[in-house]
Amino acid sequence: MLAAVVTEFGGPEQVELAEVPVPRPAAGQVRIRVRAAGVNPVDGAVRGGVFGGAGQRIGLGWEVAGEIDTVGADVTGWSRGDRVVGLHHGMVKPLGTHAEYVVLDATAVAAAPTTVDAVAAAGLPLGGLTAGRAVDLLGLAPGSSVLITGAAGVVGGLAVQLAVRAGLVVTALAGAQDEAFVRSLGATGFVPRGAAPAGPVDGVLDAAVLGEAALSFVRDGGVYVGLIPHHAPAAERGIRVEEQEVEADGAHLARLVSLVDAGALTLRVSQTFPLGEVAKAHAHLGTPGVRGRIILTA
């Protein structure tokens, strides 16, 4: 099969399609015929060597939508042909979801949404699980105020919707041109990028990784949730600081799928590329102002 890999770190030109053996599922795993796979900023970071792995062949891709092709031993509840979405967690791995087939733990997949196609569904696992866990980590009671930075991005936009659903009063921080969009997701307040909210908030979900600047918007004793491990600012003024780390959680993913099918969670696709143009997809990843997930189709 064909799979997108890097053997040397660098820019999009380092991404290559390699012919590799089709992986075989072990006990507790399923093999998925990939129909669509999301391209994420973390893929660019892996490609650039942020997480190490020099001298190895590193596979790219975390998100997948497709059909189960083979079921490994000791797997129940899944059959060949089932349409699924899943998350392939891991920074440095020999194969990712940017391939024709991928093997995942059965616990990392969920039935695919029935109301959207595979292209849209492929953008749910990483962004949805990241946003969902971040909202959970806020731990705020309904009616509490939260500022979400980077609210027009994939993760930020999902976080706005999930926070509103949790009963939080959301103020979105994004580019001025995105005000109407983030309000359409349920944000009742808006702060243009570079400005500060009118007053302190109970919590910040920092999808834009503003760090100390975002922490300064939180009231004494509030909460700050960062999305990149080991990048959160130091706690101060009694503020609880949390660092979200995504997990491959099929049960949580199933709950997000149910929200998509209920029309309560909107997924956005920016552009699609065939697997053979994966390097072009990576180049597009660095384009300013991209709104929605970049998707590879296989």
pLDDT digits (tens, 9 = 90+) for 216-231: 999 999 999 999 888 8
Q: What angle do CA 20, 117, 205 make, to 5 degrees?
A: 90
Question: Is residue 176 classed as helix, strand or coil in its secondary structure?
Answer: helix
Where are the domains positioned within the chain? 2-124+267-297, 127-243
Cα–Cα distance for residue pair 201/56, rounded to 1 Å: 45
For 22-50, the pLDDT digits (tens) are: 999 999 999 999 999 999 999 999 999 98
Instruction: Give mean pLDDT, residues 132-156.
Output: 97
Length of the chain: 298
pLDDT at 226: 95
pTM for this predicted structure: 0.95
Residues 225-276: pLDDT tens digits? 999 888 889 999 999 999 988 999 999 999 999 999 999 999 999 999 999 9
Question: Can you identify the CATH homologous superfamily of domain 127-243?
Answer: NAD(P)-binding Rossmann-like Domain (3.40.50.720)
In angstroms, rounded to a whole number, what is the distance separating the alpha carbons of residues 16 and 6? Answer: 6
What pLDDT is stored for residue 197 in this prediction? 94
CA distance 22 to 279: 21
CATH assignment of 2-124+267-297, among 1.20.1630.10, 3.30.1370.60, 3.90.1150.10, 3.90.180.10: 3.90.180.10
